[in-house]
Structure 1
Amino acid sequence: MKKISLILMMLLAFVACNEDKDEKAFKSTGKVEAPPVIREYGMVLNDFDVVRDTVKSGDFFGGIMDKYGVDPGTVYQISEKVKDTFNPAKIRAGNKYLILKSKDTASTPEYFIYENDRIHYTVVSLKDSVYATNRSRPVTIKQKELSGVITSSLSEAMEAQGVSHLLVYELSNIYQWSIDFFKLQKGDQFKMVYREKYIDDTVFVGVEEIEAAVFNHSEKPFYAFNYLSDSISGKPSFYDEEAKALQSFFLKAPLNYSRISSRFTQRRFHPVQKRWKAHLGTDYAAPYNTPIVSTANGRVIASSYTSGNGNYVKIQHDSKYTTQYLHMTKRAVRNGQYVKQGDVIGYVGSTGLATGPHVCYRFWVNGKQVDPFRQNLPSAKHIENEYKDQYFAFIKPLKEELDDIPYKNI
């Protein structure tokens, strides 16, 4: 009993001590300190009970709403009212969302916030005045400089600098018609000036653009400057120090591929049909959902599905050239839509007669299917003489900045 009494006395003393501290804190400040205000998505989250979650495979908007007590009839009304701003049918697995609920006993869902990507999000009001607004987080652009040297591959050299793999893709895309990256030599050097995007000035969310670069390959410098020569299209291109275009009318490939799994041939054993037949395309193997891009400007003349092609897109580039992209898991363009070189038109899949994820890229010249690797394809337009002085004035400070960056050596 004495031990129990002693323990009780110690507990009472501890409580009294804490109460005394709280009372002193209150007397010294005159108030109890409020929790810090949490502001996200343009809202004060302290005003709500917040549920954070991620869209899982098989989830859909109605199912998510049902989980939080929103009946199907109300979900239909919400979907109809916001469909011009937000399409609930297009929420994607892996994307994050929030449910903001009232803090009363009813705990009613008042807002649904969906992250379209790391920058852009949509706020859907679920209250009496239903609406949806598309918003974006504030993004800071930072200019960076980089210098590297090849010891084995471009990706290894750039990863050694701690930069994003996206920058590797951007740089190789710029020089794809000037430099054979499978034949880089040990000791080749590169430098660049580029810009990166950050949320809250600290969270990296991607490469904005490469402004200028120089690649010293086989002791020859290849300069590249990002310049908007066509104000109508609004899309810049890369030119060298003599105002010549580095890019071609066509990209070499419709995606950032792992390997070419099958080339254009008149005789190939089909892995599904188990017979010898012509393969009038080039197969690029890549992981599922790798973005597929249009290799040139043009208009979509088919965005459809067949049992053999799976999901496919066909693009007419001019009176002479047409391309087609097969076996997509999902198409991203519609029939009749105009697309620019590099625009995403779909995603790698294995629909139709395919045994694994890849895109079959087909190429027509004057209505005849041909091997694009054997064509003398046109280059992009160089800067016209009347605009060269303006171009040279634009690139002069960029070239000076590049030249001032020291090369790295092995």
Structure 2
Amino acid sequence: MENPRTPKPRRLFGALRQHFPRTHALAAGAASFALVLAMFVPTPEVEAKRLPLPVNLSAPEETATDLVARPAEEAVTASDAEADVSEPPVTLDKKDLEVRNGDTLSDLFKRAGVDATEMYKLLSSGEEARGLARLTPGEKLTFHVNSDGSLASLELHRDRLNLEAFTREDSGTFRYASHQRQADSYSAFREAQIDSSLFMAGSEAGLSHDLIMEMAQVFSSDIDFALDIRKGDRFSVMFEEKFLDGEKIGNGPIQAVTFVNQGKTFSAVRYVDSNGDANYYTPDGKSMRKAFIRTPVDIGRISSHFNPRRLHPIFKTRRPHNGTDYAAPTGTPVYSAGDGRVIKAGYSKANGNYVFIKHGERYVTRYLHLHKRKVKRGQRVKQRQVIGTVGATGYATGPHLHYEFLVDGSHRNPATIVRKLPKAKSIPSAEMDRFRTQTQPLLAKLESYEQPALAQRNEPEDSQGVN
């Protein structure tokens, strides 16, 4: 049922026309339309205020919701801007390996988990890289490997001072660089008296095995350390100690040394000549290096002397023993007595493994019953070069070296002949001033170390007084 008080639409518009003229109604309609349009169309001023908002990413009032609600094209633009500022870091896998006895470069690449093709690429990059095939036990390798398994770089630590680095470039080849640190060197002094053996005395004095061997080498032309050493012999030695970052990393060479053998004093000092070659000389410039060393082994004892009428231990007959036998453990290094050329190296039923070396026109040395040979026929060798190791091959009752010395084809006693042979060259007179300038401070320093030690040895033991 209609409400009689509510007017119908047609009657409502008719009533309005009665109260307002047509022109007024048209003006009111236009104004209403303009008002509605203004609500949806922004002005230039409002539009300008909105434009900077997507760029102002760091504004404190912005929230995570604001960033998520932005248009997709604005979000992409912001991400691109961040990418331009900083690329994500490349992650490398680092692997440190130490070279073990018998290791090859291929073994090390396998342990590092790097494919062999990477190794071949590295080896083909230059002569320095091919040197990686010659590794020594104890050296260390550091592999830096990319996430795809390719080799980014390889570092070879020869020791704590020397580093070789191979770094991959964009072209795929490897760039080589070497780095060397300098250690700090200081002089050190040790002295000892021999009671049983040189090695025991040296070890108790704090000398390394290498320094004891070096000292024996310095005097090897004057002292037979297998035959001449006596209880009561003594030595004083000054040498370099090397430090890196406050930590001792090793020893340098002997600088000056004195050895008293059976009451006779031998002194030697290290000198680096004008060509850069280092050798040992007496304080007055005579070379410590003779044409031949006294013994071809550093350790051992004489088990059988040179004897033309010796009773053979196996055949029990009188047969000339044309050399000197040095008993030593299997594997002990055997040195060439002098510079020369290998004229024979092989094996026979009687001699076992053997090496014959010719020195000039008149001299030949022979080394028999070797465990292993280290040289080949025709090879040139230097004095004290390792030519083999002590063994018990051939007619031998135990591990030893049989050593012969021939002069003009005749056997001579190896223990005495070297004393009659010529010495190596001494310092030329033109270089004596340079020699004295370099060596006299070393000898004076050694003497300054020896004086307190000598006074301490000569000081009588404190006697206990009786009150």
**Which residue among 129, 132, 138 is the counterpart of 1:95?**
138
Aligned to 2:71: none
Inter-partner Cα distance in structure 1 for 2:153 and 2:316: 54
Q: Quick check: 1:158 aligned with 2:202? A: yes
Where do 1:211-226 residues align within 5 Å?
211-216=255-260, 221-226=265-270
Normalised to the residue count of structure 2, the TM-score between the two structures is: 0.59
* Residues 139 and 89 (structure 1), Cα distance of their counterparts in 2 relative to 1, 3 Å cut: same
Amino acid at match of 1:226: R
Report the 3-state secondary structure (helix = DSSP H, G, I; strand = E; otherwise coil) of the residue aligned with 1:162: coil
**TM-superposed deviation, 1:394:** 4.5
Contact map agreement 2:336 2:387 (CA 8 A) in 1 = no
> 315, 336, 339: which is aligned to 1:294?
336
Which residue does 2:26 correspond to in 1?
A: none
Q: If the length of structure 1 is used for normalisation, what is the TM-score?
A: 0.66
Structure 1: gaps spanning 5 or more residues: 1-45
**Superposed displacement of residue 251, structure 1:** 0.8
Q: In structure 2, how many angstroms separate the alpha carbons of the residues matched to 1:248 and 1:164?
A: 25
- With over 3 angstroms needed to count, the CA separation of the structure-2 counterparts of 1:113 and 1:340, relative to structure 1, is same
Instruction: Give yes or no for the alignment of 1:407 onto 2:453.
Output: yes
Distance 1:398 1:317 in 2: 34
Is residue 359 of structure 2 the alignment partner of residue 317 of structure 1?
yes
Q: Which residue of 2 aligns with 1:251?
A: 293
Deviations 1:126-182 (A, max 9, x none): 883257667655433322233444455443443333222322223333334545664
Write out per-residue CA displacement over residues 338-391 of structure 1, whole angstroms, 9 at most, x where no aligned residue: x4433x334525485377665443433223444322423223344456655654
Give the Cα separation in 2 of the matches to 1:122 and 1:305: 39
Which structure would you say has the larger Rg?
2
Distance between the aligned counterparts of 2:156 and 2:259, measured in 1? 42
Change (3 A) 1:209 1:179: same
Following TM superposition, by how much is the alpha carbon of 1:250 offset from its aligned partner in structure 2, in angstroms?
1.0
Tell me the percent identity.
27
SS in 2 for 1:159: helix
Q: Which residue in the other structure is 1:50 paired with?
A: 95
CA-based RMSD of the aligned residues comes to 4.3
Indicate conservation of the 8 Å contact 2:114/2:149, yes or no: no
**Counterpart of 1:329?**
372
The alpha-carbon distance between structure 1 residues 318 and 91, as it changes in their structure 2 partners (threshold 3 A), is: same
Partner of 1:397: 441
Mean Cα displacement is larger for which, 188-197 or 175-184? 175-184
Decide whether the 8 Å contact of 1:142 with 1:195 is kept in 2: yes
Relative contact order higher in (CA < 8 Å, ≥ 6 apart): 1
**Post-superposition offset of 1:321:** 1.7
2:245 is the counterpart of 1:204: no
How far has the Cα of 1:265 moved from its partner? 5.1
2:407 to 365, 369, 373: 365
* 2:342–2:379 Cα contact (<8 Å) kept: yes
Long gaps (5+) in structure 2: 1-90, 458-467
Residue 253 of structure 1 aligns to a residue whose secondary structure is: coil
1:345 pairs with 2:386: yes
2 CA distance for matches of 1:114 and 1:277? 56
Q: In the aligned structure 1, how far is the partner of 2:414 from the partner of 2:200?
A: 29
1: CA distance, partners of 2:176 / 2:377: 25
1:8-407 paired onto structure 2 within 5 Å: 48-57=93-102, 59-71=103-115, 75=119, 78-79=122-123, 86=130, 90-91=134-135, 94-102=137-145, 104=147, 106-113=148-155, 123=165, 128-130=172-174, 138-178=182-222, 182-186=228-232, 189-206=234-251, 208-216=252-260, 221-228=265-272, 234-240=277-283, 242-264=284-306, 269=312, 280-287=322-329, 290-298=332-340, 300-302=341-343, 304-306=345-347, 313-325=355-367, 327=370, 329=372, 331=374, 335-337=378-380, 339-342=381-384, 344-348=385-389, 350=391, 353=394, 358-375=400-417, 376-383=420-427, 388=432, 391-405=435-449, 406-407=452-453
- Count the aligned residue pairs: 354
Distance in structure 2 (CA, Å) of the matches to 1:80 and 1:263? 55
